[in-house]
Amino acid sequence: MWNSLAASTFIAIVGAALEARAEPVIEGNTIVGARNARYCEIIPIVRDGLRLKATVYNTLGLNDCPAAIWNNISEDAMRQRFNALTVLLNGPRYFIMDSIAASGATKAGETIEADGLKLTERATIDLGLLDLLHRPYREQTINRDTLYTFKAEQPIFTLEAADGNRYVMQAFSQIVDKSLSYGDLATLGAKLKLPSGWRYSSMVIEKELVLGAAGTATIVQDELENTYQKID
């Protein structure tokens, strides 16, 4: 299903994908044209009994998270806005899949506005105290109902763990490395401090790849806060 790619061929395909990219469009319950689309998330964390609950609000399909607005949003203001214990400002990020289909609670998310930025509720996360710490290469469960589709003849970027589990990048981040771009992902493995036995790969898929999340998804992040979904 997957072929390794020579560096020169990969760069050519990545360049073509970037040049052909359109702005994301909502078609029913599906967002198409998501590849390399910029977005941001605001994630307020509130106490829910003895646990913590995070709600993920996302800009995709509403706007491209304009820097002039995003850069002026503060954690203090968002804590007051959501009456939260803390708030994670998660972005800017860029999706890797080509389309996103949502259902269930993910589809029905509420659209809100925060300091001039429109966002839609897309997922919830049940947290323990340790989950508030960024721990690269540790699995985390996200509550959402989505189908991520990666088109054939397009590049994908994967992590393979020492135990053989595989994860496909769903989004790259400019939170830690503000200069990271789509074109850098082919050689990203050289920048990562992977755990022993882990491997980063880039490849073009021959057939369409669909990653489903029927209620929950398992994800990991690397130390640059790029996010990958586990292949079940």
Residue length of the chain: 232
Cα(35)–Cα(84) distance, rounded to whole angstroms?
32
Q: What is the pTM of this model?
A: 0.84
pLDDT band at 169 (very low <50, low <70, confident <90, very high): very high
Where are the alpha helices (H) located in the chain, listed in sequence order? Answer: 7-20, 67-70, 75-82, 104-107
Cα(70)–Cα(92) distance, rounded to whole angstroms?
8
Question: What does the mean pLDDT of the chain come to?
Answer: 86
Please state the domain extents for the chain.
Answer: 2-230
pLDDT of residue 2: 46
pLDDT band at 156 (very low <50, low <70, confident <90, very high): very high
pLDDT in tens, 204-217: 999 999 998 888 89
pLDDT of residue 215: 84
Classify the C-alpha dihedral 148-188-219-124 as positive or negative: negative
**pLDDT above 80: residue 74:** yes
Count CA within 13 A, CB hemisphere, residue 28.
Answer: 5
pLDDT band at 135 (very low <50, low <70, confident <90, very high): confident
C-beta neighbour count of 180 within 10 angstroms: 19
